[in-house]
Amino acid sequence: MSEVLVVIDHAEGEVKKPTYELLTIARRLGAPSAVFFGSPDQGDAVAEKVKRYGAAKVYVIDDAPIKGFLVAPKAEALQQLVEQASSNGDLAAILLPSTFENKEVAARLAIKIGSGLITDAVDVSAGSDGSAVTTQSVFAGNYTVQAKVTTGTPIITVKPNSAAPEEAEGAGAVEAFAATISDAAKGAQVVATQPRQSTGRPELTEAAIVVSGGRGTGGNFEPVEGFADSLGAAVGASRAAVDSGWMPHAFQVGQTGKTVSPQLYVANGISGAIQHRAGMQTSKTIVAVNKDPEAPIFELVDFGVVGDLHTVLPAARQQITDRSA
Ligand code: FAD
101-132 residue pLDDT tens: 999 999 999 999 999 999 999 899 999 999 99
Residue whose CA is at the smallest distance from ligand 1 atom 45: 240
pLDDT in tens, 14-58: 999 999 999 999 999 999 999 999 999 999 999 999 999 999 999
* Average pLDDT value for residue range 158-184: 94
CB 267 less than 6 A from any atom of ligand 1: no
Q: What is the pLDDT of residue 223?
A: 98
How many C-beta atoms lie closer than 10 Å to residue 202's C-beta?
A: 18
Ligand 1 probe mutation, 205, 253, 270, 301, most atoms within 8 A of CB = 270
Q: Which of 261, 52, 46 is nearest to 163 (CA)?
A: 261
* Average pLDDT value for residue range 80-85: 97
Ligand 1 center–CA 213 separation, angstroms: 9
How many C-beta atoms lie closer than 10 Å to residue 43's C-beta?
A: 20
For residue 309, the ligand 1 atom closest to its alpha carbon is 19
Provide the percentage of residues in the chain whose pLDDT is more than 90. Answer: 84
pLDDT in tens, 124-168: 999 999 999 999 987 766 788 999 999 999 999 998 888 889 999
The SS3 assignment for 111 reads helix
**Phi/psi of residue 51, each to 5°?**
-70, -20
Average pLDDT, the chain: 95
Angle between helices 43-51 and 17-26 (to 10 degrees): 60
Residue whose CA is at the smallest distance from ligand 1 atom 3: 215
Q: Is the model more confident about 166 or about 261?
A: 166
Given a cut of 80, is residue 282 above it in pLDDT?
A: yes
Ligand 1 center–CA 240 separation, angstroms: 5
Confidence (pTM) = 0.80
Q: Which of 109, 117, 116, 93 is nearest to 27 (CA)?
A: 93
| Residue 240 neighbours by CB under 8 Å, 6+ apart | 214, 215
Q: What is the pLDDT of residue 324?
A: 81
- Do 241 and 247 touch, CB atoms closer than 8 A? yes
Instruction: Report the complex ipTM.
Output: 0.99
Ligand 1 center–CA 255 separation, angstroms: 12
Query: Can you spell out the DSSP letters for 234-281?
Result: EEEE-HHHHHTTSS-GGGBBSTTSB----SEEEEES----HHHHTTTT
